[in-house]
Amino acid sequence: MERNEFIKSLGLGVALVCTGSCFSACGKKSDTPTPDPAGGGTPGTTASVDLSTQILTVGASLVVKSILFIRTATGNAASSFSATQAICPHQGGALSFIQASNYIQCSLHAARYTTAGSILAQPSDGGTTTALKVYPLTISGNTLTATT
C-alpha cells in the first residue's frame, strides 16, 4: 500500500468512527424523567419541611429539592406558608427570600417576586422574567409538604 493510500484509508476510518459515535450518542434516550427547566424539580416531586425544627418564625425560609419554602404567618396551617420554585425562570439563578424586604430575589440579575410568585422587578440585565411557579401545600402533623 502506498503512503497516500494508507493515509486516505486511515482518514476515512477515523471519520466513520467519529460519525458513528456521534450518532449513537445523539440517539440515546434517557430513562430518567426530564427535570423542569424552570426549576422546582421533576413534576410530581414532593419536598417536606419538619415544622417542629424548621422555618419556625415568620420570614424564615428554606430550600428543599429546588422548592423555596417561606413562612408567611404564624401557626401551622398550610396558609401560613408559601412554596415556590427556587430557581429563577429568567436564566436559572438561585432565588432566596429577603425577609427584611418581604420579597424573593434572584442572585443573578436581581429580579424580585412576591411570596405568591408575582413579578415585582424585572432582571437587571434588561431581560424579562415570568412569574414563579407556586406549589400546593399540605400539612400532616408537623410535616409541611409541597408537590410540584
- Sheet containing 95-98: which strands, arranged edge to edge? 95-98, 103-106, 112-113, 119-121
Q: In what order do the strands lie in the sheet with 67-71?
A: 61-64, 67-71, 81-85
How many of the chain's residues bind ligand FES (CB under 6 A)?
11
Within positions 116 to 135, which residues make up the interface with ligand FES, using CB under 6 A?
Answer: 123, 129
- Nine-digit cell string for 83: 412554596
> Pick from 106, 132, 137, 146: which binds ligand FES (CB under 6 A)?
106
Q: With binding defined as CB under 6 A, does residue 88 bind ligand FES?
A: yes
* Residue that is written with C-alpha cell 401545600 in the block: 137
Q: Which of 38, 62, 63, 108 binds ligand FES (CB under 6 A)?
A: 108
Quick one: 51 or 111, whose CB is closer to ligand FES?
111
109 binds ligand FES (CB under 6 A): yes
Interface residues with ligand FES (CB under 6 A)? 88, 90-93, 106, 108-109, 111, 123, 129
